[in-house]
Amino acid sequence: MSLFALLLLPFAGSLLTAVLPTRARTALAACAGLVAAVAAARVVSLYPQIRDGGVIRETVSWVPSLGLDLTLRVDGFAWMFALLVTVIGALVCLYARYYMSPDDPVARFYAFFLAFMGAMLGVVFSGNLVQLVVFWELTSVVSFLLIGYWHHHVDARRGARMALTVTGAGGLALLGGVLVLGHIVGSYDLDVVLGSGALIRSHALYPVALVLVVVGALTKSAQFPFHFWLPRAMAAPTPVSAYLHSATMVKAGVFLLARLWPVLSGTEWWFWLLCGAGASTLLLGAFIAMFQNDLKRVLAFSTISHLGLITLLFGLNSPLAAVAGVFHIMNHATFKASLFMAAGIVDHETGTRDIRRLNGLMRSMPRTGTLALVASGAMAGVPLLNGFLSKEMFFAEAVFLTAHPTVEVGLPLLATLAGVFAVVYSLRFGYEIFFGEPSTDLPRHPEEPPGWMLKPVELLVVACLVVGVAPSISIGPLLAAAARPVVGGDLPEYHLAVWHGFGAPLVMSLLAIVGGVVGYLWLRSHQRSGRLNETPFFERFNGRRLFESGLVTATRLARRALRLVSSRRLQAQMFTIIGVAILLALLAARGVPLVWGDRERLPASHEFVLLWVIGMVCAVGAAVMAKFHRLVATTLMGGAGLVTALTFLWFSAPDLALTQLVVEVVTTILFLLGLRWLPMRLHDPSRRTTMRDRVRRGRDLLLAVGAGAGLAALSYALLTRPAPQSISPFFLDRALPEGGGTNVVNVMLVDFRAFDTIGEITVLGAVALTVYALLRRFRPPAESIGRPQQQRVLPSDVVTDLVKPRATGERAGGYMMVPATIARLLLPFSFVVAAHFLLRGHNEPGGGFVAGLVVAIAYLTQYVFSGTRWAEGRAHLLPPRWIAVGLLLAATTGLGAVAVGYPFLTSHTAHFTLPLVGEVHLPSAMFFDLGVFAVVVGATLLILTALAHQSIRAHRPPAPNKRTEAS
Amino acid sequence: MEALLALVIGVLGGAAVWLVLRPRTFQVIMGLALLSYAVNLFIFSVGSLFLDRPPIVRPGVPTDLGHYTDPMPQSLVLTAIVIGFATTALFLVVLLASRGLAGTDHVDGPRGEP
């Protein structure tokens, strides 16, 4: 299995679990667990290749023009992280099988879970910094979904949103930092970046890159001052917390610090930024953790504190401290995952996580209690457990560090104090709930969980013990392999042993344990008497409130800005668009002055002038009449369209003229069909025109005149200047020899630009279907439901009994008999005309568009004169099939070229001789044009008949509004 | 001839802009139709004006822009005409639906009604 397959495996598993039955807990857990286990096994099998500092690389070209490749790169450190991600992932899958309730939609849970595992593996394996950021953001997004898994809880939604906002914003900062790094180095490849440490540290942009990268890491790892999201993320299901908030997601931040340690560390900036954040987080997290009463919140703040410790260790600029940091990443992941799981078990079995209510659980759940006790010992740093070893290394570093005097004195003090706090909260977690008088008022009767639920915890706790007792045998080689790349290849001298002799670090450890026990007893006695139940001092230093008020302010500002610069009124928007367009044109005219050229003018002819006098009158008339006299306006509009068509014909564009002519016909029919459903508007003499109306009209008129004048000037300048170079000779040259037709416009449509035409007919078909779908749900306005006056036998306001009963309520039959007959007789002739246009289209004016519209008009004429029922009773047109057949035909013609090895839509002309007919040239573009023809027929008919159908549909009156009825 | 065509484009465009700025949906749709005439003529005229030189290849005539009018703007405009019909149809139906639902033909629905 290649690295890419390994990376894709969890994502594939995610898709698979997403489609499995949503409540099949066992099957889903088995599936997800298997995926994680296979991934873990594969990771383990990579060990020999990376053990001695080897690096595995796999590359796939991504965006080569930007120097971006998809690179997967595994060295010892990435390997160690991948091991944590997959092994703990597999354990959590098993655990979640028993934790999640039968009512939870667990398919979603496992799908997100595996997707998260994939994203995390992506971060760890990335050999390219941009790729790393992409996966980094993916972890933020998927963790949002996981934290918000129980989305019916408001806490879960808010917690998820906060986590996403903070880590997502950090991800943006990281992206900035990575881009700066790439700018400095000239490559985003991790190996190149790792090899350019000196260059980066001496570059002027180093502080910028550093701050941005560090902000990314600190937000992800919940470091002060961004730590506030982590406790809120505890609203997630406990398996999620055990995975994301102990072993993976929050570790991504420190992963990044370690990854870039050889490049970015070793400077004052690095030292003060990371030590400052790390030390304050270490102390603050531990302090707040002591006062929490919710098991998971204790663990959350303890996680914050431990991550602070790791950050601090990386910040010390010492290789030995960095090794300790790597070691603590591993140790913390094991004991914290087991503690989260234990907290989940307690919650699951007792129904509460409140430390004040939980007591003496050792009697009812001895196995869980023992495991939790050992794991909290590791968290506190008790000897013979793994937490002790890395903490000891930290103490040693704190003592032997050579730095600023205040740091030299302060750091050991701070370390010991944090150690004391850690012992206190570990005792509160491990000791307080399991010992003492058993609680009697728990929501559920506590008992041991199913054996398989404890298995993951047992495994992790055994790992803590084994590492704690025999570190150099069990973890030594792994640690060496993992730490070597972090410190840049040469491991410092260190000894993994429980007993280092009696020295300052041991004294500090002992002090911490003794101080912790004393502190715990003191705190407990105070809390028993009702004091110190809240966190003293630091309750107010809460980033959450700041975050929320920031969010509210940002929303309010955005809303205000929107109100200021935008409008929901169409008229205002139109005014702005046109105004800005005119303004831009004026500005452009300052740069390139609008002057007339001296191209040879065409002499004006009287006929043409007269034609356009009519045309302009039509246009202006339509503009004036559109308010009250829609029929007149539609007619005038048709007049302007006809003149436009004639203009095309005049200036050597017969194809355009034909198309414009037939489109004009269908557009007019379209408007006529639509007019019926518009409200009647009559000029109301009683309504006075207000001043405001006048100002607005004046303003619009000014704008209209301005736009018209601008267009006229622009077009005059264009028409009088020398014609520019054009690519058209290419088309003129090739139309006959390569396109096989003499009508260049048609050859362009069906051959040179056929791809564009395919897009166009697709749009046409889509529009027709949309129109059809919209009209299916159409509810006409109340006053237009009745038959129009013209279709009634008797005017509706005449009261009489002299009416033939059969004719009552029916449409006035028998009118327009003569035109209907003529239209019927014309139908076959129209087909001949259409066939003529279609067949000659390649060489003479015509083509699929025109032919299709001619056929459509011929059918529509039948609708117009004989009525919808009559027409549909005799011809089954099925317009959607026309559209489908046409699109298929066009696409098949195009694909035919692909099938014989040419690019899509390459055309070919077949020449053969038929008896009687003679020589025949059959270009493949002909079939394409046939497809165009079919789509145009289908789309036009579908649009217009759907509209026509409205008048024969039995319209129900709109359903009564329930709300008004109730009131 | 050039001056006339420029004037025509200007008049069509001006009338269209006026209509597009009106408050009633029917006026706006009319405006868009007029605007498409103006713009189509404009694009078409970019290929310069020629009488009796349609872009249909005749044997023996050199294939250059001196003997044929420019086919490219024509093919662009041809597509534009058909697509223009489709968008007009779509807009008309949206207009009808909004009229049926909102009970008014004001572009902003009931809120725009004075």
Angle ∠(A613,A616,A622) on CA atoms, nearest 5: 140
**Average confidence (pLDDT) over A423-431:** 90
CA distance B38 to A623: 14
The 10 Å Cβ neighbour count of residue A892 is: 13
Residue A299 near residue A231, CB atoms below 8 Å: no
**pLDDT for residue A56 is more than 60:** yes
What DSSP character marks residue A75? -
Residue with tokens 């099939």: A881
Taking contacts as CB-CB distances below 8 angstroms, the residues of chain B near A857 are none
The 10 Å Cβ neighbour count of residue A80 is: 27
Q: Do A743 and B56 touch (CB under 8 A)?
A: yes
CA distance A317 to A312: 10
CA distance A950 to A273: 72
Q: Do B68 and A744 touch (CB under 8 A)?
A: yes
Of chain A, the percentage scoring pLDDT greater than 90 comes to 45
Least confident of A239-243, A481-485, A810-814: A810-814
pLDDT bracket for residue A37 (50, 70, 90): very high
Output phi, psi for A149, to 5 deg. Answer: -55, -45
| Residue B26, token pair as written in the block | 């029917």
Q: Do A623 and B19 touch (CB under 8 A)?
A: yes
CA distance A641 to A566: 35
Q: How confident is the model at residue A810, as a pLDDT? A: 41
CA distance A286 to A307: 11
Residues 41-100 of B with CB under 8 A from A: 41-42, 44-58, 63-65, 68-72, 74-75, 77-79, 81-90, 92-97, 99-100
Distance of CA A738 to the CA centre of its chain: 45
Residues in CB range of A468: below 8 A, 6 or more apart = A378, A383, A384, A385, A386, A387, A388, A389, A498
Mutate to test the interface with A, among B7, B9, B21, B42 (most CBs of A within 10 A): B21
The more confidently predicted of residues A899 and A664 is A664
DSSP A649-661: HHTT-HHHHHHHH
CA distance A334 to B70: 76
Residue A313 near residue A324, CB atoms below 8 Å: yes
Q: Do B71 and A703 touch (CB under 8 A)?
A: no
Q: Do A745 and B82 touch (CB under 8 A)?
A: no
User: Which among A575, A660, A726 has the least Cβ separation from residue B21?
Assistant: A575
Residue B53 near residue B5, CB atoms below 8 Å: no
The 10 Å Cβ neighbour count of residue A699 is: 13
Helix, strand counts (H, E) of chain B: 3, 0
Mutate to test the interface with B, among A718, A745, A756, A940 (most CBs of B within 10 A): A745
The β-bridge relationship of strands A56-63 and A918-923 is unpaired
**pLDDT for residue A670 is more than 70:** yes
Q: How confident is the model at residue A954, as a pLDDT? A: 55
**pLDDT for residue A762 is more than 60:** yes
Q: How confident is the model at residue A331, as a pLDDT? A: 92
User: Which among A640, A778, A843 has the least Cβ separation from residue B37?
Assistant: A640
Residue B92 near residue A676, CB atoms below 8 Å: no
Angle ∠(A733,A737,A738) on CA atoms, nearest 5: 95
- Which element (helix H / strand E) includes A201? helix A197-202
Q: Do A663 and B81 touch (CB under 8 A)?
A: yes
Residue A254 near residue A321, CB atoms below 8 Å: no
Instruction: Name residue A393's amino acid.
Output: M
Q: SS3 for A534? A: coil
Pick the closest to residue A483 from A493, A475, A471, A491 (CA basis): A491
List pLDDT tens digits, range A75-115: 999 999 999 999 999 999 999 999 988 888 889 999 999 99
User: Which among A652, A666, A743 has the least Cβ separation from residue B85?
Assistant: A666
Q: SS3 for A799? A: coil
Cross-strand bridge partners of residue A71: A59
What DSSP character marks residue B22? S
CA atoms within 13 A on the CB side of A751: 28
| Residue A811, token pair as written in the block | 């449409």
Burial degree of A583 (CB within 10 A; 0-12, 13-18, 19+): exposed
Average confidence score pLDDT of chain A: 87
**pLDDT for residue A806 is more than 70:** no
Q: Do B48 and A723 touch (CB under 8 A)?
A: yes
Phi/psi-derived region of residue A351, left when phi > 0, alpha when psi is between -120 and 50, beta in every other case? left
Taking contacts as CB-CB distances below 8 angstroms, the residues of chain B near A659 are 78, 81-82
Q: Which residue of B has its CA nearest to A741?
A: B57
Q: Which residue of A has its CA nearest to B42?
A: A715
Distance from CA of B32 to the nearest CA of A (A): 11
Taking contacts as CB-CB distances below 8 angstroms, the residues of chain A near B24 are 626-627, 681
Taking contacts as CB-CB distances below 8 angstroms, the residues of chain A near B5 are 612, 647, 715, 719
List pLDDT tens digits, range A316-348: 888 889 999 999 999 999 999 999 999 999 998
**pLDDT for residue A357 is more than 60:** yes
Q: Which residue of A has its CA nearest to B113?
A: A569
**Average confidence (pLDDT) over A562-572:** 85
**pLDDT for residue A684 is more than 90:** no
Note the pTM of the prediction, 2 decimals: 0.69
**pLDDT for residue A960 is more than 60:** no
CA distance A280 to A301: 13
What fold is seen in the domain B2-50+68-102? Helix Hairpins (1.10.287)
List pLDDT tens digits, range A520-532: 999 888 888 877 7
How many beta-carbon pairs under 8 angstroms link A with B?
313
List pLDDT tens digits, range A440-493: 888 888 888 888 899 999 999 999 999 988 888 888 888 999 998 888 878 888
B106 part of contact set with chain A, CB < 8 Å: no
Distance of CA A501 to the CA centre of its chain: 57
Pick the closest to residue A348 from A272, A251, A447, A208 (CA basis): A447
User: Which among B4, B21, B82 has the least Cβ separation from residue A760?
Assistant: B82
Residues in CB range of A917: below 8 A, 6 or more apart = none
CA distance A869 to A753: 41
**pLDDT for residue A935 is more than 90:** yes
